[in-house]
Amino acid sequence: MSKNERKTEAIIRKHFEVFLDEIILEEQSSDNPKIKKLLTTASKSGLGYGFPEFIIQYKNNPDFIIVIECKADITKHESYTKDKYKDFSVDGVLLYSSYLSKEFDVLSIAISGETNLNKKISHFLQLKGDKKAVEIFGNKLLSADDYLNGYIKSPEKFRQDYEKLLTFSKDLNDKLHGHKIVESDRGLLISCILIALENKAFSKSYKDYSDPKQLAEYLVTTVKNEFQNGNIGETKLAVLISRFEFIKTDYSLSKKENVLRDIISDINENIKDFIKTHEYFDVLGQLYIEFLRYANSDKGLGIVLTPPHITEFMSELAEVNKNSTVYDNCTGTGGFLVSAMNLMIKDAKGDQDKIKSIKKNQLIGVEYQAHIFALACSNMFIHQDGKSNILNGSCFDDDIISEVKNYKPTVGLLNPPYKSDKKNDVDEYEFILNNLDCLEQGGKCVAIIPMQSALAQTGKVYEYKKKALEQHTLEAVFSMPDELFFNSKVGVVSCIMVFTAKRPHPKNKKVYFGYYKNDGFVKRKTKGRVDLYQKFEKEIKEDWITSYINKEEKAGFSVTKIVSADDEWCAEAYMETDYSNLSKKDFEKNIRDYVAFLASNNLN
């Protein structure tokens, strides 16, 4: 019996015709001149115009299109080599995608079969400028909304948007530098603008203000009102508004025509949509890292902002879920709390009452520095948490400790200020012990600190190690990439420690040590360290977590060992070397690194 492709086309037509309020459905060709031009040489035979069965455009999202190829015979769905464009639906639709993705983000749908009961469907996403399409969704046709939302929330789209954010953050930093706005004020300015843009009246009217002084006052007043409406409390409000007051007096912002207005417009166009699309990504933290890369003023304060992929990894190590109450006693810009919030809300699975409780009651932070405190509060506010429990003060203050304990936190996440050379500086372990003291018994504390703290076998730090084991259980230590903090211009080598609170370390307990030196990130001149090939997100993070959960021992990667405070707490001290992975290149690299070390320390 001969196959009839018209039946396959009828399945598609019937499915998408119910969404014509949202989409434009075209067959064989398009009235869009850009699409028409791209298909001019996209013939499946290699010559002439290409004619996909269907082309779908979204009325409100012109950069995203769907292209569909049909085959009646289910055996003609996909070839092994994917280059039989005329004969197979997957092969043909990927060919069209390769042409259309020069100007659009393209979802390709290949469908084979004549009936709904006997059909095969494949989906592929190819973003503008990408050379390859990746599989996405499943084997069923979805609604127009589901396709659009799936595309917007896809890892591929996030990567594209994130790269744009990085480029914009550098351009914005250069612009603010040109207007002589000091580094410590830049993050506050951005957060102030983002909060104001959440106000519909401000968002609609700020462009009408031609007087920069009036616009600056309107901006600060709007933010004050937003915080007041969020019931943030008079004490916090006074601290926050005092940090934003510089906007009304800064020469460039309050006196130069169009400077503030243009900055607001740039942020509205480049950041606000990113935050709406990728709700629980720490945008403010990322921008602050960018500002720090070109500043020296904050290095002396020990500020080392944790990269977002590590805050997420640490939250997963701590097994954060919808019932967790998370405490960060060194909150910084709030990166750990944002990552934890993301996991908690995902676990809530749409339960709005639970989500409100998470934001209102289950995220606690303490930040000592007033301008960083303002950033943390702003960050949580931007993520729809107007009543966030961020406290301004010292985490060692008895009143703050008492207040934090009232929340009964079950998870601690922290990156403490790294100790300077000053003798009276607070040690990183003091912050860890402080966090553990505030947790409920059995709670998990995950901290990232300098590796030298794990190696100490004498002195004050050794005494802190002893104290930690007397009161709490050391579960794991991970050796992190040497240049993890490259984007913050800090050359510290770090490790992550996992503790169980208020359960003394058992004498013969084995501790898991991971040699987690390769996170897949690469350095790029204008973007710093980035997950360019998505190795961490797609492969490495899962391997790291799985190995820890199962306490796997792998040569050159992980080991378990019974240790005490007298020992070095790092994988390098105990694990076997996997010589099968060593090559001449490894030897050459280490020699070069050693020579560079000698040169940089005048040891030639």
Determine the Cα–Cα distance for residues 353 and 417; give it in Å rounded to an integer: 35
Residue 25, strand partner residues? 56
| β pairing state of 494-500 and 473-479 | antiparallel
Q: How many CA atoms lie within 13 A of 102 on its CB side?
A: 13
According to DSSP, the residues that pair with 413 across neighbouring strands are 446
- Contact call for residues 53 and 68 (beta carbons, < 8 A): yes
Rounded to whole angstroms, the Cα distance separating 604 from 588 reads 18
Would you identify the CATH topology of the domain 279-286+295-579?
Answer: Rossmann fold (3.40.50)
Distance CA 2, CA 495 (A): 65
Report how far residue 317's alpha carbon sits from residue 592's, in angstroms, rounded to the nearest whole number. Answer: 35
What are the tokens at 137? 């969704």
Distance, in Å, from the CA atom of 327 to the CA atom of 413, rounded to the nearest integer, reads 6
Q: Are 294 and 487 in contact (CB under 8 A)?
A: no
d(CA 242, CA 220): 10
| Per-residue pLDDT, 496 | 98
The list of the chain residues with pLDDT below 70 reads 1-2, 46-47, 280, 290-303, 384-388, 420-423, 489, 577-582, 594, 596-604
- What pLDDT is recorded for position 2? 57
The type of residue at 131 is K
pLDDT of the residue at 590: 74
Q: Global pTM? A: 0.80
Cβ proximity of 245 and 216 under 8 Å: no
CA distance 116 to 104: 30
Question: Quick one: which of 285, 61, 326, 292 has its CA closest to 194?
Answer: 285
What pLDDT sits at residue 603? 60
546 Cβ neighbours under 8 A, 6+ residues apart: 552
Which amino acid is it at 177? H
State the pairing for strand pair 522-524/510-515.
unpaired
Q: Which has the closest alpha carbon to 396: 416, 375, 372?
A: 416
Concatenate the DSSP letters of all residues of 522-540 into one string.
Answer: EEETTTEEE-TT-HIIIII
DSSP code at position 207: G
Strand, coil or helix: 575: coil
Helical ranges in 386-524 per DSSP H = 398-406, 428-438, 452-455, 459-471
319 three-state secondary structure: coil
Distance CA 378, CA 371 (A): 11
Residue with tokens 């995203």, as numbered in its chain = 64
Alpha carbon distances (Å) from 465 to 31, 94, 453, 497, 563:
70, 58, 9, 12, 11
As its CATH architecture, domain 5-152 has Alpha-Beta Complex (3.90)
Neighbours of 291 (CB within 10 A): 23
